[in-house]
A and B are shown apart, each in its own frame.
Chain A
Amino acid sequence: MTPKNVPYIFILPAVTFFLIFTVYPVISSLLLSFQKREGSEYVFAGLENYTRLFQDELFYKALGNTFLILIVQVPIQLFLAVVIAVALNSQLVKMKSFFRIAFFMPAITALVASSIIFMIMLDENYGLVNYLLSFVGIDPIAWLSDPFWAKVALMAAITWRWTGYNMVIFLAGLQNIPGSLYEAAEMDGAGKLRQFFYITVPQLKPIFLFTFVLSTIGTLQLFDEPYILTEGGPNNSTLTITLYLYQNGFRYFDFGYASAIAYVLVLIIGVLSWAQMKWAGEDK
């Protein structure tokens, strides 16, 4: 072993795995998206998969559902996470680690498991949630069989799972804000609310960006929850892009079409991530 090849030896296993299981599939998937099956062979089909995709109402529906979740659920989740983080960071609160552990707990469970628990609690006739709602005079809600409420249920399950996760990230960010900033503001007579908007929010900006990008990427890839909770139904109201990709790939074995869906997803994630970074960069 000569000193020159040392780093290559350390990096070799990772690069090998990476080339075989990531780089090759990513390229292969791109090529596949321009192919279609004829008999048992795949043949070049040009843009056929993509033109089909842009006329596919179901795809637009999946796209619309995913973006609706993105626009509604991500802000709610991040807002809740910040509020809880600020509350927990307050000097008034004792038992901080108890609260932190409790709030973080949902983030460690398998999405499949938590989706199943939600499915059971949201049962229309006998579920716990409707039972509790009956005490405040609310009629049973068809959580999983009504197109509107199914979306709400899905968003609730996601919020439950990820709020604590984001809260921990915000909490770490809050602890890095120098206390002297608040002391100075305090002396100038700024109230808690002003301190929140003029110190906490601007100081947390990089963390906001980080959690926002992470949540966006996560939402665009949403699969486990709709697969378990509603199977994309009712009437495709909870069909997401990834679920549609899965159905085309592994239910209808239309690999070319599924790959085209995958690449549209890549494009969307790329554009959104780029826009978010740029927006954050320009604002500085």
Chain B
Amino acid sequence: MRHNVSPFRKTLLYIFLFIGVIVSVFPFYWMFVGATNPSGEIFKVPPNFLPGDYGWENFKNLNENVGIVRVLGNSLFITLTFTVLSAIVCTAAGYAFAKFQFKGRNAIFFMLLVAIMIPYHVTLIPLFEIFSNVNWLNTFQAVILPQVAYPFAIFLMRQNMQAIPDSLLEAARVDGAGEFHIFFRIVLPVMRPALAAVAIFLFMFQWNNFIWPLVVLQSQDMYTLPVALSSLVGMSRIDYGQVMMGTTLSTLPIMIFFLLLQKQFISGILGGSVKE
């Protein structure tokens, strides 16, 4: 192979990549600058590019305005409950699809695949009616329940489960292990990496979920972060310092999460689309 690449081309490549990095990352920096400065600083000409020390004020104002502490708690509770519940339900289903022969298997699986294609928005109005009928509008369960059987997560778990050797399960059965014992003590531990990837995917989906919570949550004390943020920018006088603090709070946890677990993150999002 030719290794004598001109330094010019190499430099060009790096310049291209660094411009891309700046475009990708700068908005986050700008958000941080806004969150730590008073509202007026964000729109100053020339702009102030340095973080300030007004972050705590913005946080306090934001909390007075939309009860951000409560909103953060709502988001965290909804997201964690959803992630755990959905991970269990989808993993169990994925296991059944991958490791058992049963009547109706292919038909049900085909339905799940079709569901991946159907826009979520089609279900909004009937879902709204369902929860309205049982008087569950403006509740956490209304936000959590609809997507628990997340077809894509089931699909992913099935793909991963297929790698478990049948002989392993058979051996356990011969030893007299019950089916639940096998699932919890043998299957789940082996599936840890896949489970982590799917859980991260589910977490991110729910943490960032917007349209359904927007529809079903009606009072400010029930809002999740994205809904609270959208209510902030809908106000007639917008305090941008507060808004930027709000976006920072919604981004920071997931960003830290991402930096710590970026391998699982990416494999969760690749979703078995590409075999690595």
Contact = CB atoms under 8 A, between A and B. Distances in A.
A138 interface: no
A186 B230 contact: no
Interface in B107-142: 108, 111-112, 115, 117-130
A11 B161 CA distance: 14
The secondary-structure label for the interface of chain B is: helix
A102 B24 contact: yes
Given A112-B230, A123-B43, A15 B24 contact: no
B164 interface: no
A104 B259 CA distance: 11
A102 to B, nearest CB: 4
B192 interface: no
Interface residues of A, number: 93
B47 A128 contact: yes
A226 B231 CA distance: 15
Interface string A1-43: 1000011111101111110111111101100100000000000
Nearest to A132: B47
A107 B258 CA distance: 11
A153 interface: no
B154 interface: yes
Interface residues of B, number: 96
A64 interface: no
Nearest to A99: B17
A6 B243 CA distance: 51
Interface in A79-104: 84, 87-88, 90, 92-93, 97, 99-104
A188 to B, nearest CB: 13
B269 A87 contact: no
A11 B121 CA distance: 25
Given A32-B126, A101-B262, A168 B270 contact: yes
B46 A29 contact: no
A221 interface: yes
Given A221-B120, A262-B121, A90 B13 contact: yes
The secondary-structure label for the interface of chain A is: helix
B122 A266 contact: yes
A277 B108 CA distance: 22
Interface in A241-284: 242, 245-246, 249-250, 255, 258-259, 262-263, 265-266, 269-270, 273
A160 B23 contact: yes
A7 B247 contact: no
Given A117-B247, A168-B266, A266-B122, A250 B215 contact: yes
Interface of B: 1-2, 5, 9-10, 13-14, 16-17, 20-21, 23-25, 27-28, 30-31, 34, 42-47, 88-90, 92-93, 95-97, 100-102, 105, 108, 111-112, 115, 117-130, 145-149, 151, 154, 178-179, 183, 204, 207-208, 210-211, 215, 225-226, 229-230, 233, 240, 243-244, 246-247, 250-251, 254-255, 258-259, 262, 265-266, 269-270, 273-276
